[in-house]
Amino acid sequence: MQSKLSPLAPLVRARRRRPRRGGRPHVIYLAIGFPPAAKSSAYRMRETANQFAARGWDVTVITLADESWEREYGLDHTLSVGVDPRISIVGLPLTRVDLETDLRAFSEARSLRPQQWIDQQRKQELQVFPEPVFGGWRPELEKAVLRVHREHPADLLMTTCAPYVNLAATWRLWDEHRVPYVVDFRDGWSVDVIGGGAAFAENSPAGRWEKRVLAEARAVWCVNEPIAQFYRDRYPALADRVRVVRNGYDEDCVPSTNHRPEPATGLTFGYLGSINFPPALLDSVLTGWRIARREQPLLARSRFEVRGHIGAGALREANAHMELLRAAASDGVEFGGPLPKAEVAAAYGRWDALVLMLVGGRFVTSGKVYEYAASGLPVLSAHEMDHDAATVLAGHPLWTGAVGLDPRRLATSFSEAARLALEATDDERAAARAHALRYARSAQLAPAVAEVTAAITGATATTGQISVGTSTEGGQA
């Protein structure tokens, strides 16, 4: 017998959709990580919601309650300032038990075998939905979506992944009420963005879920062309509905002017972003930094400032990355913790060059590459050579180029970035900013939201940008 939770359960007969309230279309936006969650995905979510609101939609965001984010990367309320006040937010009391740091909340069994307990949890979560960690949230998410729809009938469900368990709630609303939906798949699910290729087979539980949900989607958004192509190849019937919506950058994060380097006191290199790549990558960069300092007096008196979130739960700012950074303090490396969104532009304004540390390869773009490109600063790439960030940076006049992760080659890149920082002219900096203009976040999302609006409401698809009131507001890095 099939479980009620199985994607293979018989379809419930579709019910008639209720009329709109007050004539305004209503979108339920399933966006786990919406502001004030201090997550890198929050910017894209904020812009998406604002774009819908600006185009005349009632927007109800479903995310987690603020307390839930405390266990992860915490909160940045400056991010919420930029959220259109017309947007309603529903915070669900879902938490990640694996990130619990109060040992009094542990059972004796969990205290004895913490890892096995987590493994057991994972197995149970997978029974509910084939996604570890988040699979167990399925019933609550489904209930929440149905409740919101009951209270205010939706014309569209916009769902953004990860987590992929959102697809279950998306399907449930479609299954029961035939509410059309768009999946903002960002980095995709069945594509292994780190290793390349497929992460799971089409006939696996996750594969069956993905295939079924995407088949009925009005549109599927991805953050770059390689991921989009992966989905076009995997599901040919879906090809004309797959669209690239790059992450882009928020214009308020870009400094209006750059700091003038002072060779006598040394330069300041900066990194801004979540530090969630393998420790070995960070170590290669720090090793390259040390080698460069050994060989170049200018770098020997320079600093490398690292800002962002490190680790979650028990490992928050107490993991292998943190150890590497603390141990590198004598090499001019400073870790300053996360940076509120409102302070991002100022940080770029006082730095001389940026270090772009990224995991993965051609399927990974990241969000920060756009911001880096638009900063007008030299950008040192620390990622694989065949990486989508290289596509974004190709032609950027102050880019050192992708040399891979060999520490000696990275040391050369540090020297090159230092040279660019010292020698870049105002024209070159302006050209660097101009290079990134097309990646402004609103320029990326506005046409996509316009298309969806047109498809659902029949409104003319005005693809031009609409002011959504965030360009001068703060946010979170």
Partner 1 sequence: MTNVLIVVGERPQQKSVLLEALRRFRDQGASVGIVGDFPADALTVDVDLADVHPLAATPADPRLRRALARTQQPSRALWLRSWRDPWVRRRVRTADVLVALDSTAIHTVWEMAQRQPRADACNGIGAAGRVVRARHEGTYRPTRGALDEVSARAGIVVRGVRRAAVTGAKESLEAAMAPAVLRSGVGGRLWRSAVSIPGLPERVRVALAYRVHLRSVQSGRPGLAAATTTAAAARMSSRRARADLLTREANGELDLGHVPVCLTEAVAAELALADEFLPKNKVRASRSLHKAMRLLFHRVPHFDQLSSPLAERPAEFLAPLRASTTARALAAPRGRATPAAAPPTGRPLRLLIMTNGNAHFLREIRQRYAETPGVELRYLHLADDPIAGPLTRNPGGIVEHLVAGQSEFGNRVEEWLRPHLDWADTLFVDWCVATAAITTLVDPGNTRVIMRLHSFEAFSFWPHLIDFSRVDDLVFVSEHLRDLTTEVVPALTGARAPRLRVIPNAMDLTGYQRPKDPSARFTLGLIGTSAVAKDPRWAIEVLRRLRATDERYRLLLVGGGLNPDASESVRHYEEALSTDLAELEPSGAVTRIGHVDDVPGVLSGIGSILSSSVRESFHCALVEGAASGAVPVVRDWPFFADRAAGARTLFPADWVVGSQEEAAARIRATTASEEVWRAEGAAAAEYATKTWDWTVVQHDFDELFLPRAGRQE
Binding site residues, partner 1, CB under 8 A = 100-104, 106, 108, 111-115, 192, 194-195, 197, 199, 278-281, 283-284, 287, 290-291, 311, 313-320, 322-324, 326-327, 329, 405, 407-408
Q: CB neighbours of 342 closer than 8 A, spacing ≥ 6?
A: 78, 81, 474, 475
For partner 1, the closer CB: 63 or 284: 284
Which element (helix H / strand E) includes 51? helix 42-54
For partner 1, the closer CB: 111 or 462: 111
For partner 1, the closer CB: 318 or 461: 318
**Distance in Å, CB of 325 to partner 1, minimum:** 8
User: In the sheet where 379-382 sits, what is the strand order?
Assistant: 333-335, 303-307, 268-272, 353-357, 379-382, 399-402
**Distance in Å, CB of 185 to partner 1, minimum:** 19
**Distance in Å, CB of 120 to partner 1, minimum:** 10
Q: How far apart are CA 247 and CA 477, in angstroms?
A: 14
For partner 1, the closer CB: 197 or 464: 197
Among 215, 258, 257, 261, CA closest to 238: 215
Q: CB neighbours of 397 closer than 8 A, spacing ≥ 6?
A: 424, 428, 431, 432, 435
**Distance in Å, CB of 72 to partner 1, minimum:** 12
For partner 1, the closer CB: 322 or 424: 322
For partner 1, the closer CB: 15 or 123: 123
Please calculate the CA angle 17-220-341 and round it to the nearest 5 degrees: 100
For partner 1, the closer CB: 410 or 432: 410
Q: Are 159 and 166 in contact (CB under 8 A)?
A: yes
Residue spans of beta strands (DSSP E) within 133-291:
156-160, 181-186, 219-222, 242-244, 268-272
Q: How many CA atoms lie within 13 A of 315 on its CB side?
A: 12
**Distance in Å, CB of 280 to partner 1, minimum:** 5
For partner 1, the closer CB: 133 or 322: 322
Question: Which residues pair with residue 381 across a beta bridge?
Answer: 356, 402
For partner 1, the closer CB: 224 or 284: 284
Alpha carbon 443 to chain centroid, angstroms: 17
For partner 1, the closer CB: 2 or 115: 115
Say how many residues make up the chain. 477
Token look-up 């190709």 returns: 394
**Distance in Å, CB of 295 to partner 1, minimum:** 11
Q: Angle of helix 441-457 relative to helix 42-54, nearest 10 degrees?
A: 50
**Distance in Å, CB of 167 to partner 1, minimum:** 21
Strand 268-272 relative to strand 303-307, pairing: parallel
**Distance in Å, CB of 127 to partner 1, minimum:** 14
**Distance in Å, CB of 299 to partner 1, minimum:** 16
Q: How far apart are CA 53 and CA 73, in angstroms?
A: 27
**Distance in Å, CB of 113 to partner 1, minimum:** 7
Among 261, 225, 467, 465, CA closest to 365: 225
